[in-house]
Amino acid sequence: MLTLDNHLANIINNYILLAKVNKQQAFDDLVKDEQTLNFLANRFGSVELQNALAQLDQDCNNESNLSLSQSLKHGKEPVNSTSTFEKNLKHSLKSFEDSDSDDDDKSGWEETQALYEELWKRKRQTEEQSIKESHQKKEKKSNVVPICQDYRVGFCRYENIAHIGKCKFRHEGKRPTNFAFTLTPATPSEDQTWRTKFVQAFEGGNVTVTSIQKIENKTLETMYKLKSEEIRNRRKIEEISNFEPYLYHGTTEQALNSIMTYGINIPSDYKADPTCPVSGKLPISICKNDCKLCTQARHCWGNCHMYGLGAYFADKSVKSDRYVYDTNGAKDHKTGRKMLVCKLFPGKVKTIDTHLNKQDQHHDDILPPSGYDSVFAKGLGSNAKVGFSVINSEFIIFHPYQCLPLYLITYNKA
């Protein structure tokens, strides 16, 4: 049975032996070993101990260390150099032995050797275990679904696409869950500005604004900022416009809450089930692929999306008014009509200012043309050809966080 001090003496011996074969290891182990450090500090003062440790640290940096396993492998003698540290430790051990010479229980050299062997055995076991674990981890990883390359700023375009190409990959970095919005009356100056703009952009239509509310959603603001940064980092500065237009968006009343909470919906490529509470009143589903109601029957061209399956915005409120539905899916209600004003980050814009070759030329586009971040379909006014070009301009995005909803306008039509 070893006394505590004898046990410490053995440990110190181990450090001396360890320092002979691997100084770095001895140093690393010792600086973590508070009990031994305290003992040594008591024996020959903390200043001397600090000097000895500094000396060992220096030795570690200056000399190449030969680890025990290396020396066994190459049949070489471990590096045998005497450092101040070693001398100090030996001195400490000596003084310890002198003062405790009457202790019968003092361990012999064999016992020290055995402890030393035990130390290395444990170290080898730990190393073998960690190698085994890292192999197991690697095997496990190879069975895991690869990371999706299309998942950018919390959205993968293929997550609600069932026919044109489903996403089979893993989405790293989840989107936030703390989406929430507040609606407050716009300030008198904002109110005045948007009443005027809205009525002007209605182009003489008999319309009365009843309220302008400000939408605030901190999480959406963050996502919008992240998305614009992601585009800025990917594009050359001269390629993108820093102009962030304020545009109108008309939709079903039942979709408004979801848009103000989670951001604009990017349509899927399948039909909406009439009983679906989210997409039911829409011609196309805006649900994710996991919606139990939307049947996933493909949505096909029906004089609808001229510039692809994206979210559409207009600079004319009269244009967006055509897409305003009430909760019953009717468009002809005269009072309490609601429309959004959103800020857009268009990035690199593909402008289409000619007639399409075919009416459904771009219908199934689920992304902007390669190399672009959004589409601008220029209104051709009286030169527009129905189904091939538009009278009023349209802006189309395919990522929800390129849009930030800012105001909710309620109005009546005569």
Report the interface residues with Zn ion, using CB under 5 A. Answer: 148, 150-151, 156, 158, 167, 169, 276, 279, 287, 291, 293-294, 304-305
> Rounded to an integer, what distance in angstroms lies between the CA atom of residue 278 and that of residue 366?
20
Chain position carrying tokens 């003084």: 95
| Minimum separation from the CB atom of position 268 to Zn ion (A) | 9
Q: Tokens standing for 125?
A: 């076991």
> Rounded to an integer, what distance in angstroms lies between the CA atom of residue 183 and that of residue 213?
6
| Minimum separation from the CB atom of position 271 to Zn ion (A) | 10
> Rounded to an integer, what distance in angstroms lies between the CA atom of residue 322 and that of residue 343?
20
| Minimum separation from the CB atom of position 240 to Zn ion (A) | 24
Q: Which of 217, 236, 228, 254 is nearest to 407 (CA)?
A: 217
| Minimum separation from the CB atom of position 149 to Zn ion (A) | 8
Q: Which is nearer to Zn ion, 27 or 158 (CB)?
A: 158
Alpha-carbon distance values, 21 to 25, 80, 88, 116 (Å): 9, 7, 17, 12
Q: Is 411 left (phi over 0), alpha (psi -120 to 50) or beta?
A: beta
| Minimum separation from the CB atom of position 300 to Zn ion (A) | 7
Q: Which of 413, 411, 409 is nearest to 256 (CA)?
A: 409
Q: Which is nearer to Zn ion, 169 or 179 (CB)?
A: 169
Structure letter (DSSP) for residue 158: G
Q: Which is nearer to Zn ion, 162 or 291 (CB)?
A: 291
Of how many residues is the chain composed? 414
| Minimum separation from the CB atom of position 63 to Zn ion (A) | 53
Q: Which of 224, 220, 222, 219 is nearest to 244 (CA)?
A: 224
Q: Which is nearer to Zn ion, 41 or 293 (CB)?
A: 293
Alpha-carbon distance values, 378 to 28, 204, 396 (Å): 69, 21, 11
Residues pairing with 215 in the sheet:
183
Q: Which is nearer to Zn ion, 64 or 275 (CB)?
A: 275
| Minimum separation from the CB atom of position 277 to Zn ion (A) | 8
